[in-house]
Amino acid sequence: MPLSGQRIVLIGGSSGIGLATAKEAAARGASVVIAGRSVERLESASREIGVRAETHSLDATQETAVEAFFASVGPHDHMAVLVPTVPDAEVRKSVRGFADTPQATMEIVMRHKFWCQVYCARHARRHLRDGGSIVFITGQAHRKSLPNYPLVAAADAAVEALARELAREYAPLRVNVVAPGLIETPLIRDLPRGHREALEALVGPQPVPRMGTVQEIAEAILWIMGNGFATGTVLEVDGGYKLT
């Protein structure tokens, strides 16, 4: 199914993978709605995307705001949620092993990675057109264990389980997951030194020994939106990370 002429909503579309997806979708003739918290980031992203972009300021951790957002956006064809697990650099420093991670940080992880996707799936549903789809984004933490990531692993596993259930309950809408490996985005670039270097060391042994690009993940997201036979699927695009 070509995406030309379709309307695609990207929560977290003003940076990184979401922005790359918005640009690629617009280049293929779709109109895009991007949402995020910072108005400045949205405006800058909108200039990069061009005339096919509509912007909305939204904190997707707030369910009432998510409901109002989808009511104001109205009918659309596809929706993806690209909110990071821990968007705040300061809070990211407190993500450690299970015993050492403060309860408040654990709740932030679940709110951003799990509840944002729940709220968006719940409130987008009645505005999604026939033939449309929802795409959740997870990662690889629950497929290959990493120190300091137990809550991220739990959140990603929960999102994938939810996607399988919704693929049945929401049919004929399709519900899928894209699960990237390590991708070079502002999220990774802004990590504290030791943390970033530890992640970089992980990609060396991969069959594809580098971080992925935002474009590689954007193409996966748009492929799964456009493939009318894909539902309940987890599309892993990770350079073979879990094989190492």
Ligand X SMILES: NC(=O)c1ccc[n+]([C@@H]2O[C@H](COP(=O)([O-])OP(=O)(O)OC[C@H]3O[C@@H](n4cnc5c(N)ncnc54)[C@H](OP(=O)(O)O)[C@@H]3O)[C@@H](O)[C@H]2O)c1
Residues that bind ligand X (CB under 6 A): 11-18, 35-38, 41, 58-61, 82-85, 87, 137, 139, 180, 182-183, 185-188
Residue 172 Cβ vs ligand X, minimum distance, rounded to whole Å: 26
| Rounded Cα distance, 227 and 16, in Å | 23
Tokens read off for 41: 């980031």
Residue 36 Cβ vs ligand X, minimum distance, rounded to whole Å: 3
Radius of gyration (C-alpha) of the chain in whole angstroms: 17
Q: Calculate the dihedral angle through the C-alpha atoms of 235, 156, 206, 92, rounding to the nearest 10 degrees.
A: 140
| Rounded Cα distance, 141 and 156, in Å | 7
Give the residue with the Cβ less far from ligand X, 33 or 83: 83
Backbone phi, psi, residue 167, to 5°: -60, -35
Residue 168 Cβ vs ligand X, minimum distance, rounded to whole Å: 23
| Rounded Cα distance, 129 and 223, in Å | 18
Residue 235 Cβ vs ligand X, minimum distance, rounded to whole Å: 12
Tokens read off for 36: 């995020």
Residue 239 Cβ vs ligand X, minimum distance, rounded to whole Å: 11
Give the residue with the Cβ less far from ligand X, 92 or 174: 92
